[in-house]
Amino acid sequence: MGERYLKSVRLLAECMQGFERFSGESVRQHGLTHAQFDIIATLGNTPGMSYKELGERTLITKGTLTGVIERLEQKGLVLRERSSEDKRSFFVRLTPAGDAVFCDVFPQVVAHGKQLFSAYSEAEFDALNGALRLLRERIAAGSQSLSSPTNKELP
């Protein structure tokens, strides 16, 4: 079938995979797994967040998250504090050491990325970011209509 958007999806996957080829090596060299770096990168440049929010952002389910955070805590990279508002909830944030790793690992990813994007013009940046921003919007809109079970597809 002429499912045209399949090409978009495949392109997206190929680009993401290509980028992971870059970043994966740097991440592993720092003794971090993909899931662990996912957490570090999500917490980086934020004041911290709850397990729930962290799980939603990283697509890591709560049962798994407990273990991943535990290992990062043992490495001294993250900190857990009970929320004062909701005593069921934890607030997770990077320690100074965790922030140092974030700042240390990311430039390495960035160094590859810089090389990758060095040939980009202003216009090409705008085109890429514009296209991705639109896609992200549509994905977000689609997620909403899917998560509510009563919502059927539109004509």
Nearest to 36 by CA among 19, 21, 23: 23
117 binds a copy of itself (CB under 8 A): yes
Residues 13-52 that bind DNA (CB under 7 A): 24, 28, 33-36, 50-52
Phi, psi of 78 (to 5 degrees): -130, 165
34 binds a copy of itself (CB under 8 A): no
C-alpha to C-alpha distance for 69 and 72, rounded to whole angstroms: 5
102 and 94 Cβ atoms separated by less than 8 Å: yes
The only residue of 75, 80, 93, 112 in contact with a copy of itself, by rule CB under 8 A: 112
Binding site for DNA (CB under 7 A): 24, 28, 33-36, 50-52, 55, 60-69, 71, 80, 83, 86-90
Binding site for a copy of itself (CB under 8 A): 3-9, 11-22, 24, 59, 110, 112-120, 124-125, 127-136, 138-140, 142-143, 145-147, 153-154
